[in-house]
Structure 1
Amino acid sequence: MEWILLIFIGLAAGMLGSLLGLGGGIIIVPALMMLRAYTELLSGITPQLAVGVSLVIMVFTGLSSTLAYIKQKKVDFIAAWIFFAGSGPGALIGVYLNQGLEVEPFLIYFGLFMIVVSFVLLIRHLLRPLKVSKNGIRRSYINTLNEHVEYGFSPVIGIAIAFFVGMLSGLFGIGGGSLMVPAMILLFGFPPHLAVATSMFMILLSAIVSSVSHIILGNVEWLYVLALVPGAWFGAKLGAIINEQLKSDKLIFLLRIFLIIAGIRLIWQGLTGS
């Protein structure tokens, strides 16, 4: 029964991670940490193991969803590689910081992080994209309504933000999409669907770097990986299909609701130990 549960966790993580551009780690890590108190199979899960397993899974969800989004022509490869220049090194630092985290503080910090991201999304309409300098990168995109949308960013600012996102990825095993997608939408004016697709490609690259680091440190339980991968792979493809059908505002609303619920639950578990 516990193995079947892991398969469904992988499916949910792959689907929601691909749908919202999160990578799935923000679902896998909380699920593993919550279930450790209720199942014998997962009783030995530590923050380091949860993060290590999550990052390996994100390599598969990132690859699966990226292939689907490439077919939909929604991935901005230039932006993704520029952001990876920051997220890659940041992920390595995050892996290092993760080694000293105990269970209860980890849950509380992770929960607070999720709620903060949800609040940022709540006030997104009050924020305006940053002005792009003469040396900045300007891009254009034709959305599903056949509208011509322009967006852009400064490579220096983009790399700096991606570095912080990559550090959180290695630290919490979340892929960084929960912060990078809002940043791309709010600060750089990315269309939401394009931000999600581009984020998934960047997550794939960052997950490869940080997961290899966690494997070297012995933070990966391969039995859990084998149980989670099948659901995560097919869930990621399903999420990309659903993403194409949903309006942008619905994507943001779903993301906010999930972050609030999961964040409160993790903080409660960290404070009470239950």
Structure 2
Amino acid sequence: MAYIVSGFSVGLLVGVTGVGGGSLMTPLLVFLFGFKPAVAVGTDLLFAAITKTGGVWVHHGKHNSVEWKIVALLALGSLPCALGTLYLLKQLHETGKEISGVITYSLGIALILTACALLVRSVLMHRAQKAGLIDDDHSNEANAARFRRLHAPATVLTGMVLGVLVTLSSVGAGALGTVALLFLYPKMTTLKVVGTDLAHAIPLTAVAGLGHLGIGNVDVTLLASLLVGSLPGIWIGSHLSAKIPERFLRPVLATVLLLIGLKFVSQ
């Protein structure tokens, strides 16, 4: 029951703030319920892959807000790096070496970066909207890219970084991915940024989560309980989001994540 309540609470916060569940769920599982960091990360990755799928159907089907070419470029970097990271983790696990320390430190770094991303994201979105350069039809993404001819390699490189970080920590596919896209493609609409980041997060978290499942880092019972609680929480939170001022909630959340991240790094 406690897991269901926790899933509901995290889902509620995700719905209200739009912050990825990994940055909230993984520390909760470690500190409140005492799960090993590796199990918390693996379980949360599959949790994220399942809960994000519905969001992509909405963005692609209803809003047509997914830039699939950019998703492909991100995945070109992230998926091979995720598989490579999983291979290294499996080798360490099979040789009896403790991987919790690596995962704990990576989780701390990811949370600190996410906290910074939360503070930067609103500024970048506001500037993009205020610039008046955003157009709903960008069939040629190169026109919207910051680095012009280098936008493709820069996007692949961003995917590589996300692939390693998300696989090690389950954190970063949401907030960090969004900030990276806002920086790389400043003329892309906010709706397309969110939809594209979400579409990329699903295969990345699915591959990383299934890899952790193969290593033995997923608690299936915990996963089911979290899903039962989180889905209604996300639905309620998304309806409450318009009533709660984001400018107050986001800095508080960023501060909490920063403190948790520092605690993980210092362990």
For normalisation by structure 2, the TM-score amounts to: 0.74
Query: 2: CA distance between counterparts of 1:87 and 1:163?
Result: 4
Letter in 2 for 1:10: G
**What is the aligned partner in structure 2 of residue 166 from structure 1?**
163
**What is the aligned partner in structure 2 of residue 193 from structure 1?**
191
Contact 1:68 1:237 (C-alpha < 8 Å) held by counterparts: no
- Indicate the SS of the match to 1:174: coil
The reply to whether residue 46 of structure 1 matches residue 36 of structure 2 is yes
Deviation track 1:90-116 (CA, whole Å, cap 9, x = no partner) reads: 22233345555335x644542343233
CA separation of 1:18 and 1:59: change in aligned 2, threshold 3 A: farther
Query: 2: CA distance between counterparts of 1:209 and 1:166?
Result: 10
**What is the aligned partner in structure 2 of residue 213 from structure 1?**
211
The reply to whether residue 230 of structure 1 matches residue 220 of structure 2 is no
The reply to whether residue 86 of structure 1 matches residue 77 of structure 2 is yes
Contact 1:176 1:203 (C-alpha < 8 Å) held by counterparts: yes
Alpha-carbon shift at residue 170 of structure 1 (Å):
0.5
The reply to whether residue 184 of structure 1 matches residue 181 of structure 2 is yes
CA separation of 1:63 and 1:161: change in aligned 2, threshold 3 A: same
Letter in 2 for 1:91: A
Letter in 2 for 1:80: V
Query: Mind listing any 5+ residue stretches in structure 2 that lack a counterpart?
Result: 129-133, 138-142
CA separation of 1:169 and 1:251: change in aligned 2, threshold 3 A: farther
Query: 2: CA distance between counterparts of 1:18 and 1:156?
Result: 33
Alpha-carbon shift at residue 266 of structure 1 (Å):
4.4
For normalisation by structure 1, the TM-score amounts to: 0.73
**What is the aligned partner in structure 2 of residue 134 from structure 1?**
none
- Indicate the SS of the match to 1:268: helix
Bigger Cα displacement from structure 2, 74-83 vs 16-25: 16-25
Query: 2: CA distance between counterparts of 1:259 and 1:179?
Result: 13
CA separation of 1:152 and 1:269: change in aligned 2, threshold 3 A: closer
The 5-angstrom pairing of residues 58-77 of structure 1 reads 58-70=48-60, 71-77=62-68
Number of equivalenced pairs: 242
Name the structure where strand makes up a greater proportion of residues: 1
CA separation of 1:113 and 1:268: change in aligned 2, threshold 3 A: same
Q: Please point out which of 258, 261, 271 is paired with 2:256.
A: 261
Alpha-carbon shift at residue 251 of structure 1 (Å):
5.8
Letter in 2 for 1:67: W
The reply to whether residue 151 of structure 1 matches residue 144 of structure 2 is yes
Name the structure where helix makes up a greater proportion of residues: 2
**What is the aligned partner in structure 2 of residue 202 from structure 1?**
200
CA separation of 1:170 and 1:20: change in aligned 2, threshold 3 A: farther
Contact 1:25 1:174 (C-alpha < 8 Å) held by counterparts: yes
Identity %: 22
CA separation of 1:237 and 1:110: change in aligned 2, threshold 3 A: same
Alpha-carbon shift at residue 72 of structure 1 (Å):
3.2
Contact 2:117 2:176 (C-alpha < 8 Å) held by counterparts: no
Query: 2: CA distance between counterparts of 1:251 and 1:222?
Result: 34
- Indicate the SS of the match to 2:144: strand
